Amino acid sequence: MEDQKRVIVVIGASRGIGRAAALALAAPGAHLVLAARDAAALGEVAAASRERGAEASTVPCDATAEPHVRRMIESAASISGRVDVLVNSAGGATVAPLAELTLADWERSLRVGLTAVFLACKHAAPHMQPGSLIVNVASVAARQAFPGWSAYVAAKHGMLGFSSAIREELRPRGVRVSVVLPAATDTALWDSVPGEWNRANMLQPDDVGRAIAQLVAQPAYATVEELTIGHVAGRL
């Protein structure tokens, strides 16, 4: 087993934190399975990963569609018979006052921020062995409330609770579940958020990517249940 490639699935790998995590994990001995909707962007991340010595496969898919997720996980598991690491980093945010928040926006936020995580974990877990790791990328919004962000906050709170529950369910099998809670990170998400934001006081995606890689580098028996990372400047 030790001489086989470590199979690492990164969902949301085309940009932002997911892309940064993929590149931070790209190294000899790793086979990255990169999933997102943007096939062209995935191809660029795969090429950069191979330059760092990793093997890489791309699987364009909709992380909220169960048939897509099932096929993607089965493809990853077929590489070595297992999934060693799953990173859930598909993202997006709807920001609007409660009175203006539509049902469609609410449901889309929950599907991207919570249902996609459920689907990936559900289908990956049967292929995971002792020492395997699930990393769910949440946000400090899982612990803090922000006005106008109710749909996003609800999804991140839900992700945190879901992760805690499956951690206990998978613990007897030796499968670990970590949640990363980044503060504001300078990604394309902020391009469409109303208001003025000091992006100089935000984390960079590479900061969070390195933190995820550090979790993956922990011994197989070590569980970091939650990791909060923020800018030294504090809240925006």
H or E element at residue 198: none
Q: Determine the 3-state secondary structure of 152 from DSSP.
A: helix
* Residues facing 203 on adjacent strands: 185
DSSP state letter for 163? H
Contacts of 66 (CB under 8 A, 6+ apart): 119
Catalytic hit among 152, 166, 167, 181: 152
Residues sharing a CB contact under 8 Å with residue 97, sequence separation 6 or more, in sequence order = 147, 148
**Three-state DSSP class for residue 84:** coil
Q: How many angstroms separate the CA atoms of 195 and 183, rounded? A: 17
Phi then psi for residue 64, to 5 deg, are: -100, 0
Q: Which tokens belong to 74? A: 């089965």
Active site annotation includes 221: no
Residues with active-site annotation: 152
